[in-house]
Amino acid sequence: MRNYTFSSDPEINEMLNTVVDSINFHAQRQLEHIKQLTQIGEALSSENDINKILDLILQEALEYTNSDGATIYTVSPDNSSLEYKLVYNRSMKLHIGGSHGKLNWPVVKLFDENGEKILKNMVSYVYHTKKIQNFDDVYKQNMFDTEKTRETDKMNNYRCKSMVAIPLKNHESDILGVIQLINAMDKEGNVVSFSPEHIVMLNSLASQAAISLSNKKLIEDLEKLIRQVIKAIALAVDRKSKYTGGHISKVANLTEMISHAINEANSGRFKNLTFSDNEITEISIAGWMHDVGKITTPEYIMDKGTKLEKLMDGMELVRLRIEMLKQVILKESHKPGVDDESRSGTKALLEKINGFIPILETANTGNEYLADSIVEQLTEIYEFKYVSDGTEYFVLTDDEYKNLCIRKGTFTPEERDIMNNHAQVSWEILSQLQFPKKYKNVAIYAASHHEKLNGKGYPKHLKGDELPIQSRILAVADMFEALTASDRPYKKGKHLTETFKILGYAVKAGEIDGDVVEFLLDSDIYLNYARHFMIDENGNLNYQIDTTDKEELRRILHESSK
């Protein structure tokens, strides 16, 4: 206490000094509250953790009212109850919930079994009426049932007396929760009532808490909407093809599985690599969006299950052409003047033409590799001509011959370019979207799933360190799904031994990251994925799991990658 000289009279001087000290005390206290409110305001604009913000708000509520205890309740997702979010009690040395861990206390129900509002509980009443409730002594009121309060007090040798409950209302007057404080105290530690000044300040704090909760819910709702839209687009792209439905969701799931497992790794190359929650979400979104460019890919190319398939399978036209040719030849053989020797030659010719069909059918499927012997037979069929009454008949057109001679798969080089262009289109679409800053790399990761470490991938021919680990994970997931997928019309889903052999070859060629493939194996993700997603055309699971011996698969992987 400072001793100012205001008067020559000692009593007056002492009185005035006491007044000044009291004013200074209250001014200092108000200044501290202003600083705390400023902190809360700054936290609202910069702090992402809602628990930390609520901690600040509740601490300030306790300090300003000098209360012994305080609780924040939040409304459950289904709006059926109030959940304990944060609980303080000074005398009981209780500080739980919020940033101090999740509270698992029983919820406060808002409705009874008949759907009627519960109004006999103070906080549920505040929720339903949206009105503040303030009592000097909660035991001495008849509005609410205090049986549970009394039981809890008795159990903890405590006495709830003054109590206030304030609704947390957002800008639309929706109730997001309730703040409840108990036992305001004076300087000597005696329980007193909550004053009108307390209520004004608590209303302000409740508004700030509501803003925090409202912002959090808005962000959560927007994030949820983004994920729903992304998955809806992915579903639409998957549905576009009658053969590859489910590819995107499987790749996204596998990408997430690998990313989460890397976070848990305590050995190997990835032991020091940890993805944040935002980075995991970013990788996941990239997985869901990696094939969005296929939205512009013509369906007749996406669904080209055989080499002659366009809008319809051209093999049917070839068969029809052969049947017409056979009818022409038979008609020629029955013309007047045709001798037996000629008829015998006709029979041999028809047998030869009938032999064309199995050769054409074999070539029409998109096998792993078309043998030279089949190409030679196709050339012979292509060059076959038959003339009758001045009309030349043939089996194959130039375009059909070109398609049937495709060495691997079902695409011509031109069709392959169109199909491959989906990665560039994915980049063009996604790079135009203004994702939140924390997801800024979605377009890069998604569009680079066909890039190769050796620079021979597409669309940008990135290589080596130009490809972040997220892109490498997505590339391995995409290849693993494509190899094991059983819904392709031109191939069966490969067994695990075949899959790891091919992955090993890809590692050897410098196409994909060998460490990611090794991790896929070591972490057992490949087996968990197989047991959930490898389904044949009859819905049978696990038929591709030809071995569960990890060492055998590792040997196959290493031998093919040498």
**pLDDT interval class at 428 (50, 70, 90):** very high
Same-domain pairing of 208 and 321: no
Same-domain pairing of 53 and 133: yes
Which CATH number belongs to the domain containing residue 547 in this structure?
1.10.3210.10
- pLDDT score recorded for residue 500: 93
- pLDDT score recorded for residue 5: 67
User: Is 498's pLDDT higher than 80?
Assistant: yes
The domain boundary, picked from 377, 404, 431, lies at: 404
One-letter amino acid of 462: L
Asked if residue 550 belongs to a domain, the reply is yes
Asked if residue 26 belongs to a domain, the reply is no
Determine the Cα–Cα distance for residues 401 and 385; give it in Å rounded to an integer. Answer: 14
**pLDDT interval class at 538 (50, 70, 90):** low
Let me know the angle formed at the C-alpha of 188 by 187 and 191, rounded to the nearest 5 degrees: 90
Determine the Cα–Cα distance for residues 385 and 122; give it in Å rounded to an integer. Answer: 95
- pLDDT score recorded for residue 301: 82
Same-domain pairing of 421 and 530: yes
360 CB-near residues (< 8 Å, 6+ apart) = 315, 318, 378, 381, 404
Mean of the pLDDT values across residues 482-486? 85
Let me know the angle formed at the C-alpha of 156 by 153 and 159, rounded to the nearest 5 degrees: 35
**65/22: higher pLDDT:** 65
- pLDDT score recorded for residue 109: 95
Asked if residue 346 belongs to a domain, the reply is yes
Instruction: State whether residue 168 is helix, strand or coil.
Output: strand
Same-domain pairing of 80 and 131: yes
User: Is 65's pLDDT higher than 70?
Assistant: yes
- pLDDT 10s digits, 312-351: 678 888 999 999 988 988 888 777 766 666 777 788 888 8
Mean of the pLDDT values across residues 385-392? 89
User: Is 467's pLDDT higher than 60?
Assistant: yes
Percent of the chain exceeding pLDDT 90 equals: 46
Same-domain pairing of 261 and 171: no
User: Is 237's pLDDT higher than 90?
Assistant: no
- pLDDT score recorded for residue 133: 95
Mean of the pLDDT values across residues 45-50? 60
- pLDDT score recorded for residue 335: 75
Instruction: State whether residue 67 is helix, strand or coil.
Output: strand
Percent of the chain exceeding pLDDT 70 equals: 88
Same-domain pairing of 289 and 360: no
The domain boundary, picked from 356, 384, 404, lies at: 404
Same-domain pairing of 536 and 425: yes
**403/491: higher pLDDT:** 403
107-111, 252-256, 300-304, 457-461: least confident range: 300-304
Asked if residue 96 belongs to a domain, the reply is yes
Domain housing 521: 241-294+413-561
Cis peptide before 167 (omega within 30 of 0): no
- pLDDT score recorded for residue 210: 79
Same-domain pairing of 447 and 534: yes
Residues 320 and 282: beta-carbon distance below 8 Å: no
Same-domain pairing of 52 and 145: yes
User: Is 265's pLDDT higher than 70?
Assistant: yes
- pLDDT score recorded for residue 39: 58
Mean pLDDT of the chain: 85
- pLDDT 10s digits, 505-520: 999 999 999 999 999 9
Q: Is 70 left (phi over 0), alpha (psi -120 to 50) or beta?
A: beta
- pLDDT 10s digits, 159-216: 999 999 999 888 788 898 999 999 999 988 899 999 988 888 888 878 877 777 777 7
9-13, 39-43, 222-226, 330-334: least confident range: 39-43
Same-domain pairing of 420 and 319: no
Which range has the top average pLDDT, 26-30, 47-51, 528-532? Answer: 528-532
**13/117: higher pLDDT:** 117
Asked if residue 172 belongs to a domain, the reply is yes
Token pair belonging to 510: 């410098």
**Domains contained in the chain, number:** 3
**557/53: higher pLDDT:** 557
Asked if residue 376 belongs to a domain, the reply is yes
Determine the Cα–Cα distance for residues 32 and 540; give it in Å rounded to an integer. Answer: 68
10-14, 35-39, 213-217, 413-417: least confident range: 35-39
- pLDDT 10s digits, 67-124: 999 999 999 989 999 999 999 999 988 889 877 777 888 999 999 999 999 999 999 9
Determine the Cα–Cα distance for residues 77 and 86; give it in Å rounded to an integer. Answer: 17
Mean of the pLDDT values across residues 280-291? 94
β-strands 191-192, 67-75 pairing: unpaired
**pLDDT interval class at 370 (50, 70, 90):** confident
**pLDDT interval class at 273 (50, 70, 90):** very high
The domain boundary, picked from 404, 429, 444, lies at: 404
Is 0.85 surpassed by the pTM of this model?
Answer: no
Which CATH number belongs to the domain containing residue 206 in this structure?
3.30.450.40
Asked if residue 148 belongs to a domain, the reply is yes
Same-domain pairing of 125 and 200: yes
Asked if residue 24 belongs to a domain, the reply is no
Same-domain pairing of 110 and 191: yes
